[in-house]
């Protein structure tokens, strides 16, 4: 099989220990993509040299390219990478994640079989920095998110394999104007919401991606994730503010981020300063808008459940 219909985009920033494995997992696909574009986002650890050496040695059917830019964030890197190709389908892989060999094959079959489907995601496995599956390694919603998914997706990001688990149509990517370069940390959730407002999605019920989760990557930076989640809330609150389920989950996520921060008092102030009184009242409705009471009850629940 030839993958003339898929362009793969990989944003890269200081992932020298992992990027070779990520690149090889793309080049070893049973359905080789038309191209693999790696966008180095100002790495300082030799990541670009690792990729350059791999591409120089590669003699297969995939068109490879390494593009370098000053550090602008992963969204800008993804958007730039997409502009390098012209295949009708696009797939993303973060430079510290890994695909199983039939990922593109299985997703291409699914999206090509239904013109109405704008995006296809798949099962994912959470692993540590060594590739060892984590205790809670299965990722994604049950049942998987399919169909006109916007209301359910607005409550919680049920595509938990992040961008690495997604294939989408180029025309859809263009219609929603790509990734929001002002968001970092919640950018995938924001993108899937914009896609599902007017389109349908599907799911391949197989584990086709390994998502690396460890201290030092974006998801482990709690203060950063809190500020980014607040930015996400400000963007989508006009729609989600009237949805109690969304408000309850958003409060839960904010509480967890604060409780797992190294400086909980500072994190609490960030939330209280970043959200209006009305927003806090709706998000923390169960404690009548009191974030302090909400955090106290979450701590108490954790103690009682030990």
SS (H, E, C) 209-222: EEEECCECEHHHCH
Is the predicted pLDDT of residue 61 greater than 70, yes or no?
yes
- CA torsion 236-190-256-254 (nearest 10°) is -20
CATH 3.90.550.10 fits 3-212, yes or no: yes
In the prediction, which pLDDT does 162 show? Answer: 87
Q: What is the pLDDT of residues 109-123, one digit of tens each?
A: 999 999 999 999 999
pLDDT, tens digit, 9 for 90 and up, residues 22-45: 999 999 999 999 999 999 999 999
pLDDT the model gives residue 131: 84
Summarised one tens digit per residue, pLDDT across range 137-153 is 455 556 788 999 999 99
Query: Rounded to an integer, what distance in angstroms lies between the CA atom of residue 187 and that of residue 228?
Result: 9
pLDDT, position 1: 45
Instruction: Give the model confidence (pLDDT) of 69-103 as tens digits.
Output: 999 999 999 999 999 999 999 999 999 999 999 99
Q: Is the pLDDT of residue 217 over 90?
A: no
CA neighbours closer than 13 Å in the CB half-sphere of residue 53: 8
Give residue for tokens 């013109």: 115
- Whole-model pTM? 0.90
Would you list the DSSP string of the chain? Answer: --EEEEEEEEEESS-TTTHHHHHHHHHT-SS-EEEEEEEEES-SSSHHHHHHHHHHH--SSSEEEEEEE-S--HHHHHHHHHHT---SEEEE--TT-EE-TTHHHHHHHHHHT-TTEEEEEEEEEEE-TTSPEEEEEEES-SSPP-BS-HHHHHHS---TTGGGGEEEEHHHHHHTTSS-TT--SSHHHHHHHHHHTT-EEEEEEEEEEEEE--BTBGGG-HHHHHHHHHHHHHHHHHHHTT-HHHHHHHHHHHHHHHHTSS-HHHHHHHHHHHS-HHHHHHHTGGGTT-HHHHHHHHHHHHHHT-
Q: Where are the domains of the chain?
A: 3-212, 221-304
Average pLDDT over residues 145-174: 93
Max Cα–Cα distance, the chain, nearest Å = 63
Is residue 216 over pLDDT 70?
Answer: no
Mean pLDDT of 228-251: 95
- Residue 2: the pLDDT is 46
Could you tell me whether strands 117-127 and 166-169 are parallel, antiparallel, or unpaired per DSSP bridges? Answer: antiparallel
* Residue 64 contacts residue 35 (beta carbons within 8 Å): yes
């Amino acid at each position: 099989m030839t993958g003339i219909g898929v362009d793969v985009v990989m944003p890269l920033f200081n992932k020298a220990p992992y990027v070779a494995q990520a690149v090889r997992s793309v080049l070893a696909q049973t359905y080789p993509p038309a191209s693999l574009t790696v966008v180095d986002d100002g790495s300082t650890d030799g990541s670009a040299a690792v990729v350059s050496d791999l591409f120089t040695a590669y003699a297969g059917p995939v068109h490879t390219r390494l593009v370098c830019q000053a550090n602008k964030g992963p969204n800008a890197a993804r958007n730039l990478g997409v502009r390098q190709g012209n295949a009708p389908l696009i797939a993303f892989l973060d430079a510290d994640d890994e695909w199983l060999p039939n990922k593109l094959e299985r997703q291409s079959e699914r999206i090509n079989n239904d013109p109405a489907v704008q995006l296809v995601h798949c099962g994912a496995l959470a692993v540590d920095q060594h590739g060892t599956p984590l205790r809670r390694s299965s990722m994604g919603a049950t049942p998987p998110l399919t169909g006109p998914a916007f209301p359910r997706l607005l409550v919680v990001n049920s595509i938990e394999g992040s961008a690495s688990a997604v294939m989408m149509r180029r025309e859809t990517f263009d219609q929603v104007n790509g990734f929001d370069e002002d968001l970092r940390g919640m950018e995938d959730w924001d993108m899937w919401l914009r896609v599902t407002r007017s389109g349908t999605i599907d799911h391949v019920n197989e584990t086709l991606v390994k998502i690396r989760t460890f201290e030092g990557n974006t998801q482990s930076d709690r203060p950063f994730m809190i500020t980014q989640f607040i930015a996400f809330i400000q963007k989508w609150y006009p729609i989600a503010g009237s949805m109690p389920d969304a408000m309850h989950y958003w409060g839960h996520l904010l509480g967890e981020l604060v409780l797992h921060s190294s400086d909980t008092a500072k994190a609490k102030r960030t939330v209280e300063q970043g959200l209006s009184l009305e927003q806090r009242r709706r998000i923390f409705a169960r404690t009548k808008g009191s974030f302090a009471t909400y955090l106290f009850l979450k701590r108490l629940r954790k103690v009682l459940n030990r």
